[in-house]
């Protein structure tokens, strides 16, 4: 399940939004399905999601969309050992 970016945008400042997000996280845990938060933009939203028990997220805070080979290269063990992670 994915939580709408509109809710995530207010999760750090609007108690109602936080409550809904928390409920969705709980439902996901009860059903044993992963719940991801969409459109995470700020560190405050990130912290609020962690406090509400969120486990997975996506959005500008975690990086813009990249090419597939770029992602592969920076995750390969060989690139880490030779110190060209191309990301930090």
* Interacting positions 68-87 with another protein (CB under 8 A): 68-77, 79, 82-87
Rounded Cα–Cα distance for residues 53 and 64 (Å): 24
- Strand (E) or helix (H) holding 2: strand 2-3
Query: Among residues 4, 14, 26, 29, which is the contact residue for another protein, using CB under 8 A?
Result: 4
Handedness of CA 49, 23, 14, 10 (dihedral sign): positive
Q: Which residues bind another protein (CB under 8 A)?
A: 1-4, 6-7, 9, 20-21, 24, 31, 36-38, 41-44, 46, 49-50, 54-58, 60, 62-77, 79, 82-88
């Amino acid at each position: 399940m994915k939580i709408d970016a509109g809710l995530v945008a207010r999760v750090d400042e609007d108690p109602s939004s936080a409550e809904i997000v928390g409920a969705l996280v709980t439902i996901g845990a009860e059903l044993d399905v992963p719940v991801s938060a969409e459109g995470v933009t700020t560190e405050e939203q990130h912290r609020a999601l962690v406090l509400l028990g969120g486990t997975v997220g996506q959005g500008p805070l975690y990086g813009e969309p990249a090419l597939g080979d770029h992602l592969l290269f920076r995750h390969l063990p060989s690139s880490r050992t030779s110190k060209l992670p191309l990301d930090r």
